[in-house]
A and B are shown apart, each in its own frame.
Chain A
Amino acid sequence: MNKITNNKAWFLVLPVFFIVAISAIIPLMTVVNYSVQDIFDPQTRFFVGTEWFEQVLGDRRLHDALIRQIVYTMSVLLIEVPLGIAVALTLPRKGWGVSASMVLLALPLLIPWNVVGTIWQIFGRADIGLGGYVINMLGIDYNYSQNPMDAWVTVLVMDVWHWTSLIVLLCYAGLRSIPDAYYQAAKIDGASNWAVFRFIQLPKMQSVLVIGVLLRFMDSFMIYTEPFVLTGGGPGTATTFLSQFLVTIAVGQFDLGPAAAFSLIYFLIILLVCWVFYTVVMNAGKREEQ
């Protein structure tokens, strides 16, 4: 079989190749470079093989941070997804209320991470913060800078406040795309509200929900700014998630070797999760098409 070859294609791919190389491959290779060597200065370097990886993987602090991270991300999803669906279901379907609620819901999404952190840091303070003051007045001893649980809950509430809107907006878009005839048909059948939700609204929201869960998973798995602003990962290590831990090694202790090894492991975890979700999304999409 004679294949027609046209080398012009290589030329056309070149710009993309350069951009990807500069933006992703070369920086990543630098990290790989650090992860397998012990570097003192540009002239003094030793190849150490997998030593940094072994050291990092055996580090109890990493295990703790990973568990903390998984519990945190799961909590975020378990709260934000049902809450987002519930809010989306109660939003008005027409009238002036639609634009009003859209603007209100979009507001938290427009605020930068560190500003959100600062807002809640001040809001939660027992002495000058409204939230912290009121909670303490109610007789609950709340102090995020000393009580690990309080700090943890504060970071979680912050995320819920910041990102539930995203799930709401996605679900609302999904709900709006359901033709009115579905609701009429269910009404004619005499279906209950629960049956309408279970058999019409939920299946019709499935694809947007998968995207919403994917986005919230990745984003909360990489959380850094909010705990950094609030307590810098403390008190103790209560809010030291994977990103905090990485920065502590890399910038705090300047252990670039272990930090690079850890970066790669972190990257692989997120890549794996993304791949799993991507497969799920694609399968869901395929079922939709048929």
Chain B
Amino acid sequence: MTLTLENITKTVGGETHIDDVSMTLEPGSFNVLLGRTLAGKTSLMRMMAGLEPPTSGRILVNDADVTGMAVQKRNVAMVYQQFINYPSMNVYDNIASPLKLQGVDKAEIEKRVRETAELMHIEHLLDRLPQELSGGQQQRTAMARAMVKDCTLLLLDEPLVNLDYKLREELREEIPNLLAKRDTIVVYATTEPMEALLLGGKCAVMHEGRVTQFGPTTEVYHNPAYVETGLIFSDPPINLLKAEVRDGALYLASGHQVSLSGHLADLGNGNYTVGVRANHLSVEQENAQCVAMQGQVELAEITGSETFVHVHFNDVSWVIQEEGVHNPRLGEATTFYLDPNRLFAYDADDRLVAAPPSEIQNGKAA
């Protein structure tokens, strides 16, 4: 089936939760809703499911209007951030519950429950109660319950948030495979850019109730259409700086001058905001075009194999992602290099006007 949202708006008590959203979800597609907390991801999913009606706009399934149709008649399934299972039923009965309510016969239920449980690697836990399971196993049960009934729309609302790091990675890797062979439309909400990239498929970036961009995930990542999109779809958020084009060159607010070549060649005179991702900054000069910039070290976050150095200059804070573990002294002046070939340029209305070609974004050096 194809799910189409037409100008969906939702206002609750005078507050706009969803603002004029239109999008089409293809059969069998994997769609990631990426946005910060309170961006409207859950509200949008609830309307896709039919748990609540939109204030205005239409929802179509294969061109048939289902806007007012009750959720029970829509054949949808939803997995939540909390681990939702019937507390007094064991895992088997939990997974079987949607089928029982549909009136599927016993032998068929048994077969499908065992198949799904095996897929989710919980076949050895069928006799247990939800309280006797770990968080990961509880969420696997909830997902099995959602997957067992061959729904046409599967909604996953930040399903991995409450799991610990290790379990999250494990399930995150499995999810696209588990759902690949199905004809179901999957919608997956998350706040994490990394998760969106790992899951692939298509990505809709949400900000303050609007879908600001919708397209193949990598394409959206390489061409974040608005400054906000860049901030949402980068971890750490993209580094920004005011700039101006005049006399055939780009002048950064920090006083540095960049020549207009490559993807920046077509920029006309005017004010811009330039952005650069943390992993595109370097402490080494990688080519002759690189601009040397100075700043004060504010903070250094060390993860396993990388160090995120926060530097302060001209009233802005930038984050530089360095390979390896470094321990720069706080307050110390440091020099880092900006490669103009990797700059995103946004116009005065915060719209993307120039993005580096994706080969350059993917490669470490230009």
* B49 interface contact, C-beta 8 A: yes
A184 partner residues in chain B, CB cutoff 8 A:
46, 51, 78, 80
Summed over the interface, the residue pairs from A and B with CB atoms below 8 Å come to a total of 52
- B72 contacts A188, C-beta separation under 8 Å: yes
- B97 contacts A203, C-beta separation under 8 Å: no
- A189 contacts B87, C-beta separation under 8 Å: no
- A191 contacts B132, C-beta separation under 8 Å: no
- B84 contacts A179, C-beta separation under 8 Å: yes
A187 partner residues in chain B, CB cutoff 8 A:
51, 71-72
Residue of B nearest to A204 (CB): B87
Taking CB atoms and an 8 Å cut-off, the chain B residues in 65-123 that contact chain A are 71-72, 76-78, 80-82, 84, 86-89, 97-98, 101-102
Contact code string A87-105 (vs B, CB < 8 Å = 1, else 0)? 0000000000000000000
- B86 contacts A200, C-beta separation under 8 Å: yes
Distance of A290 Cα from B102 Cα, bound (Å): 31
CB distance from A263 to the nearest CB of B (A): 42
* A161 interface contact, C-beta 8 A: no
Centre residue among A182, A189, A190 by max chain B CB count within 10 A: A189
CB distance from A209 to the nearest CB of B (A): 13
* A59 interface contact, C-beta 8 A: no
- A203 contacts B71, C-beta separation under 8 Å: no
- A188 contacts B77, C-beta separation under 8 Å: yes
A187-B71, A188-B49 known; A287 vs B84 contact (CB < 8 Å): no
- B76 contacts A189, C-beta separation under 8 Å: no
Centre residue among B51, B86, B131 by max chain A CB count within 10 A: B86
Tally of A interface residues using CB under 8 Å: 19
Taking CB atoms and an 8 Å cut-off, the chain A residues in 253-290 that contact chain B are 287-290
> Size range of the interface on B?
20 to 34
B72 partner residues in chain A, CB cutoff 8 A:
187-190
Distance of A191 Cα from B77 Cα, bound (Å): 13
Taking CB atoms and an 8 Å cut-off, the chain A residues in 180-203 that contact chain B are 181-182, 184-185, 187-191, 199-200, 202-203
B87 partner residues in chain A, CB cutoff 8 A:
199-200, 203-204
- B78 contacts A185, C-beta separation under 8 Å: yes
CB distance from B143 to the nearest CB of A (A): 12
- B82 contacts A181, C-beta separation under 8 Å: yes
B102 partner residues in chain A, CB cutoff 8 A:
190
CB distance from A222 to the nearest CB of B (A): 33
Taking CB atoms and an 8 Å cut-off, the chain B residues in 52-73 that contact chain A are 71-72
Distance of A190 Cα from B72 Cα, bound (Å): 5
- A191 contacts B76, C-beta separation under 8 Å: no
CB distance from B215 to the nearest CB of A (A): 29
CB distance from B328 to the nearest CB of A (A): 44
A199 partner residues in chain B, CB cutoff 8 A:
86-89
Distance of A202 Cα from B80 Cα, bound (Å): 21
B46 partner residues in chain A, CB cutoff 8 A:
184
B71 partner residues in chain A, CB cutoff 8 A:
187-188
Distance of A182 Cα from B78 Cα, bound (Å): 11
> Which of B49, B78, B82, B129 interacts with A179 by CB under 8 Å?
B82
Residue of A nearest to B134 (CB): A290
> Which of B84, B86, B88, B101 interacts with A190 by CB under 8 Å?
B101
A188-B71, A199-B89, A290-B132 known; A181 vs B84 contact (CB < 8 Å): yes
A188 partner residues in chain B, CB cutoff 8 A:
49, 51, 71-72, 76-78
CB distance from A138 to the nearest CB of B (A): 44
Taking CB atoms and an 8 Å cut-off, the chain A residues in 151-209 that contact chain B are 179, 181-182, 184-185, 187-191, 199-200, 202-204
B88 partner residues in chain A, CB cutoff 8 A:
199, 202-203
A288 partner residues in chain B, CB cutoff 8 A:
131
- A182 contacts B84, C-beta separation under 8 Å: yes
CB distance from B298 to the nearest CB of A (A): 39
B76 partner residues in chain A, CB cutoff 8 A:
188
- B51 contacts A181, C-beta separation under 8 Å: no
CB distance from A80 to the nearest CB of B (A): 23
Given contacts A190-B98, A191-B97, 7 further A-B contacts (CB under 8 A): A179-B82, A187-B51, A187-B72, A188-B71, A199-B86, A199-B88, A287-B129
A interface residues (Cβ-Cβ under 8 A, vs B): 179, 181-182, 184-185, 187-191, 199-200, 202-204, 287-290
A-B contact pairs, 25 of them (CB 8 A): A179-B80, A181-B80, A181-B82, A181-B84, A182-B84, A185-B78, A185-B80, A187-B71, A188-B49, A188-B76, A188-B78, A190-B98, A190-B101, A190-B102, A191-B97, A191-B101, A199-B86, A199-B87, A200-B86, A200-B87, A203-B87, A203-B88, A204-B87, A288-B131, A290-B131
What 8 pairs across the A-B complex have the smallest Cβ distances? A190-B72, A203-B88, A203-B87, A181-B80, A199-B86, A185-B84, A189-B98, A190-B101
